[in-house]
Amino acid sequence: MPSPINIKIMKKLLALVLFSFVLFSCGDDDESDENGIGTLSVSLGIDIKSNPIGGRNEEIIPLEDFVVVIQNEDGSTFQQFDRAGDLPPEIELPTGIYRVVAYSDNEAVAEFENPYYYGQSELFSIDKEELKVITVTCTLANMMVTVTYSENVINTFDSYSTTVQSDAGGQVVFNETETREAHFQVSPLSIEATLTYNKTDGSVLTKTFTASITDPQPKTHYDIQVDAVVQDGQIVINLILDETVEVIEILLSESNCSCPEGQGCVDLTSLGGDIRCVELCDINSCPEGISCIPTAEGQAVCLDLGTCESNFDCPDGYGCYFNKCFPNNGDIDVDNDGYFNTLIGGEDCDDLDDAINPAAVEICGNGIDEDCDGIDDICSPDSFEPNDSFATASNIDLCSQISISLNTTDDNDIFVFDAVEGVSLTISVSSVPDNIRITLQLYNSGLDFEDIVQGGVGEDISMIILPNYSGVYYLQVEDNFDNVSSELFNLEICDN
């Protein structure tokens, strides 16, 4: 069988844009709340992270060009700023209920290198003599598509292109040299690839094949990897759709057979068969007495090898497992990780992923059973738990380093410490695990917000504070992106 054409959907947070809004409300004591005036002080920050494919990087949208809208409770616009760069230091607001919306002013149906970001806050109220911090997280609101042509295509075919059409009306064409990302509004996509090959007799062989993405998602990168070969004067094409760790396959074949819906033309010679149409299947979905067997192409097919009571009832090279004939153990290790498929009594619980087997290192809290022991390990808590609320905050002595962890997605460790007015303190976090992104938030004794610092992934951070009173302060340590780890890191608060 020829190498397949892979369309890989890689889910990741392509970019985040963070907007922090500090709200102040003030007014004379003899005024009613309805007549009070509050002040909105806007502080904007941008943090764009990308996991590029093929060396390409996500375009950075200038922060100052974002649109910022303050909305009333009913969704109507109270005030709009067409450029965040033109925001005044303070904005006066009547007491009431509001929402803040922010977005990049570049939405289009389909366009190269045009990431569109959008975010909004929850509804919030502002009253007299009150301080609030409102954070709006703007994420990628459209989706990204790239096309990569394999060496087979580049070296074999004389011309090739791929057109991606949106149901919303726009389209982009990826020609032979196109390497840019295209961004689409979230709408079903149709994909059409055309490859042309000049035969030795002077004739031209052209093949067009299609696929679709019917349920696309925002914040998602669809990377179409095109790979095809010429076999016996014909272009042979397969398409596989891969989403994160779950393999979802779509087979479009132009080989030696034409198959009805629900079947695929596959090479079963390695399993004692021939090249023919077979029913595609999931584990245990075949009729009684027919085996669902993984193939080297990453599929699973219903193959009738007969029921059995012993190995003597099966063809040569096959064994009787669970009253069905399967290839012997050495024949079912699809991912070649040295562990056999559980279908034939082996220990590999995911034979399509070589990173999952009994010898794999288990990663706690990620929802995946890497070591095939039947569970996803829970990350171990630190010795200060439970301290996820102000009521259960843990005491920490000055200049005494402690070790803590963030072991669940809702683990927000809170610590309480004493400070002296006018004596500056440095809060330091070090040895941060590679997958953790620390956020520090400081609160005073009345639980009013004072300050915030956020680091990058695996980055050590610090915060310097100058107390304006003598007494207790609260420090909240968390990962706003819900990353977890049982690995300990260090926290210390010390005077300067």
**Which pLDDT does position 305 carry in this prediction?**
57
pLDDT at 295 over 70: no
**Phi-psi region at 421: left, alpha or beta (left = phi > 0; alpha = psi -120 to 50):** beta
CATH-assigned architecture of domain 12-140: Sandwich (2.60)
- The residue ranking higher by pLDDT, 25 or 306, is 306
Least confident span in 76-85, 344-353, 380-389, 487-496: 344-353
Residues 136-161 have a mean pLDDT of 85
Q: Where are the alpha helices (DSSP H) in 25-169?
A: 151-156
Residues 244-248 have a mean pLDDT of 26
- Sequence length of the chain is 496
**Which pLDDT does position 271 carry in this prediction?**
42
Structure tokens at 244: 């994160």
**Which pLDDT does position 167 carry in this prediction?**
93
Query: What confidence category does residue 281 fall into, taking pLDDT thresholds of 50, 70 and 90?
Result: low
**Which pLDDT does position 125 carry in this prediction?**
84
Distance CA 452, CA 131 (A): 14
Fold of 390-495: Jelly Rolls (2.60.120)
- The residue ranking higher by pLDDT, 260 or 493, is 493
Distance CA 441, CA 465 (A): 11
Cα 151 to Cα 227, 379, 424, distances in angstroms:
8, 43, 61
Query: What confidence category does residue 460 fall into, taking pLDDT thresholds of 50, 70 and 90?
Result: very high
Place of tokens 């764009």: 48
- The residue ranking higher by pLDDT, 345 or 189, is 189
| Burial group, residue 389, by CB count within 10 angstroms (0-12, 13-18, 19+) | exposed
**Which pLDDT does position 416 carry in this prediction?**
95
Query: What confidence category does residue 477 fall into, taking pLDDT thresholds of 50, 70 and 90?
Result: very high
Spans of all domains in the chain: 12-140, 390-495
Q: Do 411 and 482 touch, CB atoms closer than 8 A?
A: no
- Strand 159-166 relative to strand 413-419, pairing: unpaired
**Which pLDDT does position 395 carry in this prediction?**
93
| E-strand stretches of 123-170 | 124-126, 130-140, 143-149, 159-166
32 alpha-carbon distance from chain centroid = 47
Residues 199-214 have a mean pLDDT of 79
pLDDT at 436 over 60: yes
**Which pLDDT does position 53 carry in this prediction?**
35
**Which pLDDT does position 476 carry in this prediction?**
94
Structure tokens at 432: 């941060």
Residues 408-436 have a mean pLDDT of 91
Cα 455 to Cα 407, 408, 440, 459, distances in angstroms:
18, 19, 9, 6
**Which pLDDT does position 414 carry in this prediction?**
94
Query: What confidence category does residue 267 fall into, taking pLDDT thresholds of 50, 70 and 90?
Result: low
Distance CA 147, CA 171 (A): 14
Residues 307-329 have a mean pLDDT of 62
Residues 155-193 have pLDDT tens digits of: 888 899 999 999 999 999 999 999 899 999 999 999 888
Average pLDDT, the chain: 74
- Strand 117-120 relative to strand 204-213, pairing: unpaired
